[in-house]
Amino acid sequence: MVRIMTEVKTNDNCLVADIEGYGAVFHTPDLNGDIIVPGAFRHDGPVRMLYQHAAETPIGRWTSLKEDGFGLFVRGQIILSSPRAREVHALLMGGALDGLSIGYQTIRAAKTKAGRRILSASLWEISVVTFPMAPHARITKVSPPRPERQTLEPSPDQFATALRQAASALSV
């Protein structure tokens, strides 16, 4: 009997680490006194995952953004092919980092005594940060590195979008 051994090589550009947490918290003043209301966010393109709000330092991608009763819950993947992403992941795993912070452009807001009520905002990015402006905007889960799955199956959001498009095309 001949056993054929295959070596699977995994390199850094196909390793990811999953993270999730709250990028924003609703009904709670941030350190500037601003309060974000549910339904305020819109995003016309991809929402970027950055480190410390530095546009030149993307570290991954957000795969899911969903509002719930507490705030904007996000899931994403740190792409471990860059030294900075590996450093951020190590700091997250070690408990030295756990903050999230949003970068956005205010579209509509109402003044309050302490700051603003953000009624509508264009969400640009969500960063892993040392000091979040919203103290409760935190990462709640970090996974160890894993190979990125190469799959042809659509995500649930992609599947739902395809179904809506098909239904729309059939109703014309």
Query: Which residues are designated catalytic?
Result: 53, 101, 125
CA distance readout (Å), 4 to 8, 9, 112, 141, 168: 13, 16, 70, 39, 51
Q: Which residues are CB-neighbours of 28 under 8 A, at least 6 positions away?
A: 35, 134, 136
What's the alpha-carbon Rg for the chain, to the nearest Å?
19
Length in residues, the chain: 172
